[in-house]
Amino acid sequence: MLIRYRRTEDGRAVAKALVYTEAEHRIDRSRIDPDAVRIIERLRENGHEAYIVGGAVRDLLLGRRPKDFDIVTDAEPSRIRRIFRNARVIGRRFRLVHVYAGPKIFEVSTFRSIANGTVGNEYGTMDEDALRRDFTLNALYYDPLEAVLIDYVSGFKHIGKRRIQPVIPLDTIFKEDPVRMIRCVKYAATSGFRIPFRTRLAMRRDAPLLAGASPSRLTEEFVKILASGASAAILAGLADFGLLAHILPAVDGRVARGAGGRRGFFAALEELDTYAADGSKEKRLSLLLAHFLKPFLEAEPSFLVDAPEAYQEAVREARLLLAPLNPPRVELEAAVLVLFKKRGLSPLQRPRRPGPERSRGGERVRHGEHSQTPVSPLGIPDAALSEDSSPPRPRKRRRKPASKKVEGGGATGDGGSQTPVPPPQEGHAAPRNDGPLSPGAAGATGAKPAPKRRRRRKKPADGSPGGAAS
Q: Across residues 426-443, what is the average pLDDT?
A: 47
Count, in order, helices (H) and strands (E) of the chain. 18, 13
CB within 8 A of 33, min separation 6: which ones? Answer: 66, 69, 104
Structural contact between residues 89 and 77, judged by C-beta atoms closer than 8 angstroms: yes
Active site residues: 68, 70, 134
pLDDT at 299: 83
pLDDT at 78: 92
Pick the more confident residue, 18 or 262.
18
Percent pLDDT > 70 in the chain is 73
- Indicate the range of 168-182, 304-318, 360-374, 391-405 predicted with least confidence: 360-374
Please check the confidence at residue 202 and state whether its pLDDT lies above 80. yes
pLDDT bucket at 442, cuts 50 / 70 / 90:
very low
> Which H/E stretch holds residue 268?
helix 259-277
Q: What confidence tens digit (pLDDT) does each residue in 131-154 have? A: 999 999 999 999 999 999 999 999
Strand 357-360 vs strand 87-90: parallel, antiparallel, or unpaired? Answer: unpaired
pLDDT at 262: 84
pLDDT at 443: 46
pLDDT bucket at 56, cuts 50 / 70 / 90:
very high
Exposed, middle or buried by CB within 10 Å (0-12, 13-18, 19+), for 143?
middle
Please check the confidence at residue 75 and state whether its pLDDT lies above 70. yes
d(CA 106, CA 39) in angstroms, rounded, equals 9
- Indicate the range of 5-19, 284-298, 327-341 predicted with least confidence: 5-19
User: Following DSSP, what letter does each residue of 64-99 receive, concatenated?
Assistant: ---S--EEEESS-HHHHHHH-SSEEEE-SSS-EEEE
Please check the confidence at residue 410 and state whether its pLDDT lies above 70. no
Q: What confidence tens digit (pLDDT) does each residue in 218-234 have? A: 999 999 999 999 999 99
pLDDT at 373: 46
Please check the confidence at residue 174 and state whether its pLDDT lies above 90. yes
d(CA 58, CA 54) in angstroms, rounded, equals 7
Q: What confidence tens digit (pLDDT) does each residue in 361-405 have? A: 545 545 444 444 444 333 444 444 334 444 455 566 666 665 554
pLDDT at 447: 52
At position 339, the amino acid (one-letter code) is: L
CB within 8 A of 383, min separation 6: which ones? Answer: 373, 374
Please check the confidence at residue 260 and state whether its pLDDT lies above 80. no
d(CA 118, CA 445) in angstroms, rounded, equals 112
pLDDT at 308: 84
Exposed, middle or buried by CB within 10 Å (0-12, 13-18, 19+), for 161?
exposed
CA distances to 227, 315, 341, 365 from 331, rounded to whole Å, are 15, 11, 15, 42
pLDDT at 379: 42
Class of the domain covering 169-274: mainly alpha
d(CA 321, CA 154) in angstroms, rounded, equals 41
Compute the residue count for the chain: 470
d(CA 134, CA 187) in angstroms, rounded, equals 12
Please check the confidence at residue 406 and state whether its pLDDT lies above 80. no
State the sign of the Cα–Cα–Cα–Cα dihedral 188, 164, 227, 94.
positive
Domain parsing of the chain, residue ranges: 19-168, 169-274, 284-348
Average pLDDT value over all residues in the chain: 80
Nearest-Å Rg of the Cα atoms of the chain is: 42
Q: Across residues 57-85, what is the average pLDDT?
A: 94
Architecture of domain 19-168: 2-Layer Sandwich (3.30)
d(CA 190, CA 229) in angstroms, rounded, equals 9
Q: Across residues 462-469, what is the average pLDDT?
A: 52
Structural contact between residues 247 and 210, judged by C-beta atoms closer than 8 angstroms: yes
pLDDT bucket at 303, cuts 50 / 70 / 90:
confident
- Indicate the range of 70-79, 253-262, 268-277, 314-323 predicted with least confidence: 253-262
Tell me which residue of 212, 122, 120 sits closest to 168, measured CA to CA: 120
pLDDT at 385: 38
